[in-house]
DNA sequence: AATCAAGATGTAATCGATTACAGAAGCTTC
DNA sequence: GAAGCTTCTGTAATCGATTACATCTTGATT
């Protein structure tokens, strides 16, 4: 009873046509006469035929798949983006492979492998820390044109990048706090080597300077986007002799845990401390007090990145031109920010 | 300059051996003499050769890839599991394809396609709502043995299932609340058609009955695991004339938003209301008050599911035997539960 | 020295689709 | 009615690896 998967030959036999005709019915049905087409489709239904992807991929030299490189899949920020990438790619007939770049194996190596061995046609990377070695490898294989950055990016690689207007986000946060009367504003950063962290911090400092605010060095508190680092930052904050009246955190997760830890130390948010986050995770609106934050259009970012990649994969002319799409950000004012006390 | 990707023939030419030898160097190096092996590896390095996956897959009739079906990729609960699945599969040489079953396209159809067209060798589904039609299709293609449930499952399909001991979790929650003196305990459920929600609710009711507690029908509050539904449940709760003193929520997200909304209504947790969640999301320990909850070993679940699938893919004898692995759960006592007031 | 086994390597068929090229059939047009 | 066009379909080469089988060495055994 070991009935094998039917192949195109079996369908051809049942339909009484050649394999070429069956193949055409699959890929360019309009080129067949109506009667033949029907015959073939009937045979396909009758046999339960499914095309063999490996054979098709070998012949067409395409994979019909895209790799998404995610730094830390466990982070809800990325998984939402992944979801919308999946949606667009699936709608266009592409499969989605994922790889978590936190994996022990060298991600650059792994990614090059996927791209060069034909497992995928393109790459969307949410991780900006891609090695230049990987860039070189892909360039040599003429595959660099099939890479798109999403959210994070690398200035070393001139590739299209779909990202939020991070600098604007930081400015909005500072302006909001400034308008509320705050003059002593701290900042909890992301990882030092992260491009988002760098941009947000730089814009934070620049805006403070523009507004004539001095930022004491100790008010720049190092974090790494995680919950744990937010709590740690809170400890440093409460220990300061001259405590800032507001904090701008480079991620919502840090903001949430910072608030929680501050409360444990008897500080009340927003009365004693105003807090602004970044990302607008869904939960930001479902905590008490709800979090004032900078919203990123995560769904849009994923969608646009996927569309950009598809465009490039479909275009015959390889275009390695860097194109930057800045997705707008919004200040979402909720309950963790208030005017400075009397 | 359109240098094509080198193929095995090119390597063979450079190394001065046959293509068969090169292939052996790749797949069973121990069968070659040391000198030949070195020659081939040198040639591989010199040419920058990478095997063409499509060709290999076609010939070996294997894909070296696994599909993970996720209900709602945006949910942090699932993405952690996905991460550990990725880790184990990558370490064993498998690629990971993901598909979000919330996608508009019929997931059963999509999954069958992936399995039957050879895109993947196996399936790990975190979604228990798989159609029996899909089961039939896979069974006919002798592919049902390559499917593993993780977290969720379906009683209609006799397949291996790696899951938490959900009933135990519910009992631990009830017992904990009971021990604190609570006698009026409510439950916020998951979606009515979800197997986890069913099991947790049934165990909740059973344990309450065993302890001699009556559960008023209105105390079973319908939810759907989401933040929004937790807030909605809170509204119902605060409106009750004879309010329960404790709530067991079927997910942490519902618990967190329920607490937040209750606070808005002036209820204090845990003084006026004790709350137990389910999952132990990372954030549960980073909110104030921190959430008492039932911990699931998400990393372990993903890891075990991946290992189970790999075992099955490697075994020659197809084994369609249902095997259930119950992963332990723990009650994590934090600050949202307390003894009932005087 | 003859026989045989084991080990190393090469030859060529094969996996299952796509597609260039060719041939057949039907229609126009002069 | 011949030539020229379309439109439809078939033949066979091709994509790039793996592997059954054959061949050739080499060394051991008797």
What does each of the 342 residues of chain A score in pLDDT, given as a tens digit? Answer: 345 789 999 999 999 999 999 999 999 998 899 999 999 999 999 999 999 999 999 999 999 999 999 998 888 899 899 999 999 999 999 999 999 998 877 788 899 999 999 999 999 999 999 888 899 999 989 899 999 999 999 999 989 999 999 999 999 999 999 999 999 999 999 999 999 999 999 999 999 999 999 999 999 999 999 999 999 999 999 999 999 999 999 999 999 999 999 999 999 999 999 999 999 999 999 999 999 999 999 999 999 999 999 999 988 766 657 789 999 999 999 999 999 866
Q: What is the pLDDT of residue A319?
A: 62
| Among chain A residues, CA nearest to B75 | A76
Contacts of A48 in chain B (CB under 8 A): 140
Apex B337 CA angle, B333 and B339, nearest 5:
115
Show the CA angle centred on residue A227, arms to residues A226 and A228, nearest 5°: 90
Q: Are A327 and A297 in contact (CB under 8 A)?
A: yes
**CB < 8 Å to B95, chain A:** 97, 114, 119
Q: The domain containing residue A310 runs over which residues?
A: 62-164+298-327
| Gap from B271 CA to D26 C1', Å | 87
**Together in a domain, A320 and A217:** no
Rounded CA-CA distance A70/B121 in Å is 23
Closest CA to A125 of A172, A61, A67, A165: A67
Round to whole Å and give the CA distance between A173 and A116: 43
pLDDT for res A320: 57
Beta carbons within 8 Å of B131's beta carbon, 6+ residues apart: B108
Residue A192 vs residues A152, A169, B71, B94: alpha-carbon distances, Å: 14, 18, 34, 33
Same domain (yes/no): A273, A306 = no
Task: Reduce the DSSP state of residue B294 to 3 states and report it.
Answer: strand
Lowest mean pLDDT among A314-323, B153-162, B285-294: A314-323
Q: Which two tokens stand for residue B48?
A: 């920058």
Same domain for B69 and B21: no
Segment B17-62, tens digit of pLDDT = 999 999 999 999 988 999 999 999 999 999 999 999 999 999 999 9
Q: State the number of CA atoms in the 13 A half-sphere of A156 facing the CB.
A: 10
Q: Which residue of A has its CA nearest to B140?
A: A3
The domain that holds A130 is classified in CATH as: 3.40.50.2300
Nearest residue of chain A to residue B289 (CA atoms):
A260
Residues of B in contact with A55 (CB under 8 A): 54, 58
Query: What is the reported pLDDT for A178?
Result: 98
Q: Where are the beta strands (DSSP E) in chain A?
A: 65-70, 95-100, 122-125, 147-150, 161-164, 185-188, 220-221, 246-249, 274-279, 292-296, 324-327, 329-332
Q: pLDDT-based confidence at B295, cuts 50/70/90?
A: very high
Same domain, A85 and A160: yes
Do A187 and A280 belong to one domain? yes
Strand order in the sheet with A220-221: A220-221, A185-188, A246-249, A274-279, A292-296, A329-332
Cβ of A19 near strand D (under 7 Å)? The reply is: yes
Tokens coding B101: 């079953």
Q: pLDDT tens-digit profile of A195-249?
A: 999 999 999 999 999 999 999 999 999 999 999 999 999 999 999 999 999 999 9
Contacts of A82 in chain B (CB under 8 A): 73, 79, 98
Q: Is residue B158 part of a domain?
A: yes
Between the CA of B21 and the C1' of C6, what is the distance in angstroms? 18
Residue B57 lies in a domain: no
Instruction: Check whether residue A116 and residue A174 sit in a common domain.
Output: no
Residues B26 and B93 in one domain: no
**pLDDT score, position A318:** 60
Which of B188, B287, B302 is best to mutate for the A interface (most A CBs within 10 A)? B287
Mean pLDDT across the stretch B191-214?
97
| Rounded mean pLDDT, B243-248 | 97
Q: Are residues A183 and A276 in the same domain?
A: yes
CB within 8 Å: B95 and A76: no
Q: B293 beta carbon < 7 A from strand C? A: no
CA distance A212 to chain B (A): 35
Question: What is the C-alpha separation between A54 and A75, in angstroms, rounded?
Answer: 33
Check whether residue A176 and residue A238 sit in a common domain.
yes
Say how far A311 CA is from D29 C1', in Å: 70
Dihedral, CA of residue A79, residue A104, residue B127 and residue B283, to nearest 10:
-50
Length of chain B: 342
Give residue-wise pLDDT tens across range B63-84: 999 999 999 888 889 989 999 9
pLDDT at A330: 98
Instruction: Indicate whether B149 pLDDT > 70.
Output: yes
Task: Name the 3-class secondary structure at B106.
Answer: coil
Determine, yes or no, domain membership for B144. yes
- Tell me what the pLDDT averaged over chain B comes to: 94
Instruction: Give me the residue from A140, A264, A286 closest to B260, CB to CB.
Output: A286
Confidence of residue B308 (pLDDT cuts 50, 70, 90): very high
Report the Cα–Cα distance between both ends of chain A, in Å, rounded. Answer: 84
Q: Are A292 and A142 in contact (CB under 8 A)?
A: no
**DSSP single-letter state for residue B30:** G
The DSSP line for A195-260 is HHHHHHHHHHHHHHHHTT----GGGEE---SSHHHHHHHHHHHHT-SS--SEEEESSHHHHHHHHH
pLDDT of residue A317: 67
Whether pLDDT at B2 is above 50: no
pLDDT digits (tens, 9 = 90+) for B76-113: 899 899 999 999 999 999 999 999 998 877 788 899 99
CA-to-CA distance for A199 and A223, rounded, in angstroms?
Answer: 14
Kindly tell me the burial class for residue B341, based on how many C-beta atoms sit within 10 Å of its own C-beta (0-12, 13-18, 19 or more). Answer: exposed
Q: Are residues B131 and B174 in the same domain?
A: no
Which residues 26-65 on B are within 7 A of strand C at the CB atom? 31-33, 35-37, 55, 58-59, 61
Q: Cis omega before residue A307 (within 30°)?
A: no
- A13 with A93, same domain: the answer is no
Together in a domain, A170 and A292: yes
By percentage, how much of chain B surpasses pLDDT 90? 85
Q: Which residues pair with A133 in a beta bridge?
A: none
Write down the pLDDT at residue B72.
87
Residue showing tokens 């990123």: A296
Q: Is residue B140 part of a domain?
A: yes
Q: Do A54 and B54 touch (CB under 8 A)?
A: yes
Q: What's the domain count of chain B? A: 3
pLDDT of residue B342: 62
Give the per-residue pLDDT at B109.
87
Q: Is residue B333 part of a domain?
A: no
Whether A338 is in a domain gets the answer no
Query: Diameter of chain B by CA atoms?
Result: 89
Strand nucleotide closest to residue B61 (CA to C1'):
C15
Give the model's pLDDT for residue B1.
Answer: 32
Q: Is residue B185 in some structural domain?
A: yes
Question: Bridge partners of B98?
Answer: B68
A36 touches strand D (CB under 7 A): yes
Q: CA-to-C1' distance for B33 and C6, Å?
A: 13
On chain C, which bases lie within 7 A of the protein's CB atoms? 7-12, 14-20
Note whether A253 contacts B65, CB cutoff 8 Å: no
Angstrom distance (rounded) from CA A262 to CA A268: 7
CA distance A137 to A108: 10
Residue carrying the six token digits 């023939």 = B9
Tell me whether residue A340 is in a domain. no
CATH of the domain at B13: 1.10.260
């Amino acid at each position: 009873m070991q009935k094998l998967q039917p192949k195109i030959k079996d369908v051809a036999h049942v339909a009484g046509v050649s394999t070429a005709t069956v193949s055409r019915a699959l890929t360019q049905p309009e080129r067949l006469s109506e009667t033949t087409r029907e015959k073939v489709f009937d045979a396909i239904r009758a046999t339960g035929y499914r095309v063999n992807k490996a054979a098709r991929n070998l012949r067409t030299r395409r994979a019909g798949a895209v790799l998404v490189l995610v730094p830390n899949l466990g982070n809800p920020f990325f998984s939402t983006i992944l979801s919308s990438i999946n949606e667009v790619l699936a709608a266009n007939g592409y499969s989605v492979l994922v790889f978590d770049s936190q994996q022990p194996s060298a991600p650059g190596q792994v990614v090059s492998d996927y791209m060069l061995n034909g497992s995928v046609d393109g790459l969307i990377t949410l991780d900006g820390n891609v090695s230049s070695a990987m860039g070189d490898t892909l360039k040599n294989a003429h595959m660099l044109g099939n890479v798109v950055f999403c959210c994070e990016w690398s200035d070393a690689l001139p590739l299209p990048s779909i990202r939020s207007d991070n600098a604007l986000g930081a400015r909005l946060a500072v302006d909001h706090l400034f308008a509320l009367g705050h003059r002593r504003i701290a900042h909890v950063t992301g990882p030092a080597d992260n491009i988002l962290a760098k941009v947000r911090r730089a814009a934070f400092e620049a805006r403070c300077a523009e507004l004539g605010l001095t930022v004491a060095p100790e008010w720049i508190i190092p974090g790494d986007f995680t919950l744990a680092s937010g709590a740690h930052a809170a400890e440093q904050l409460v220990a300061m002799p001259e405590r800032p009246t507001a904090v701008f955190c480079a991620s919502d997760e840090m903001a949430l845990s910072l608030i929680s830890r501050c409360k444990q130390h008897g500080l009340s948010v927003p009365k004693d401390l105003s807090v602004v986050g970044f990302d607008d995770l869904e939960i930001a609106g479902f905590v008490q007090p709800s979090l004032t934050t900078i919203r990123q259009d995560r769904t849009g970012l994923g969608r646009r990145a996927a569309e950009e990649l598809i465009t490039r994969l479909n275009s015959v002319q390889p275009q390695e031109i860097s194109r930057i799409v800045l997705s707008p950000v919004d200040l979402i004012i909720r309950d963790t920010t208030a005017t400075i006390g009397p």
